[in-house]
Amino acid sequence: MWLIGDDAEVIVIDAAHDADAILDAIDGRTVLAIVLTHGHNDHINAAVELGRESGAQVWFPAADRMLWDAEHDTAPDRALQPDATFEVAGTTLRAIPTPGHSPGSTSLYAEELGAIFTGDTLFAGGPGATGRSYSDFDTIIASIRDRLLTLPGETVVHTGHGDDTTIGAEAPHLDEWITRGS
């Protein structure tokens, strides 16, 4: 889970596990949106409750609907479309489709911050897992190569799990990941 914003407003990226803990971190700020990078349960299982409690709409990639439906009985509020933008505290987040970890995996790029939030598409040390249902190694490699490694090298990669990295730190290893495979 990531909170992007300032002392007045935030956007929540990936509402996982505990809505009350997320609400505590929000600390009374206005939640403008809850944006989910993909549909695996460890990124979405608190989204419905958080939306209800905060009054914010849940934005979700439509290609992952089968994963959403396995976790929730209600529909997400809005479909997260490619190039959708979200404005918060003077920063714009732009949705970049990065399928492979799941069909709808989406990263959120904040150019003004020099940062991208990749969910489980790119980690420090390589691509996210592709051994889960609806995952595909060749697709995640294409997403990383064509949509993430094209960003400036100093772009900080905030991952869905583990340590941050940069595009520049990861780019030289693409061929190793391909050789290693899933």
pLDDT of residue 131: 84
Q: What is the mean pLDDT of residues 166-174?
A: 98
Nearest C-alpha neighbor of 98 from the set 62, 69, 129, 141 = 141
In the structure, what pLDDT confidence band is assigned to residue 164 with cuts at 50, 70 and 90?
very high
Residue-wise pLDDT tens digits, 106-145: 999 999 999 999 999 999 999 999 887 899 999 999 999 9
pLDDT of residue 181: 87
Give, as one character, the DSSP assignment of residue 128.
P
Q: Using the CB atoms, write b or e for 66-98: b if 16+ within 10 Å.
A: ebbeeebeeebeeebeeebebebeebebebbbb
pLDDT of residue 20: 98
Q: For residue 182, is pLDDT > 80?
A: no
Looking at every residue in the chain, the average pLDDT score rounds to 97
Helix (H, G, I), strand (E, B) or coil at 95: strand
Q: Which of 1-5, 44-48, 133-137 has the lowest mean pLDDT?
A: 133-137
Domain of residue 89 covers 2-180
Q: Using the CB atoms, write b or e for 160-175: b if 16+ within 10 Å.
A: beeeebbbeebeeeee
pLDDT of residue 32: 98
Domain CATH number, residue 105: 3.60.15.10
Residue-wise pLDDT tens digits, 54-101: 999 999 999 999 999 999 999 999 999 999 999 999 999 999 999 999
Give the total number of structural domains in the chain.
1
pLDDT of residue 84: 98
Residue 4, token pair as written in the block: 């992007």
Report the C-alpha gap between 12 and 167 in whole angstroms.
23
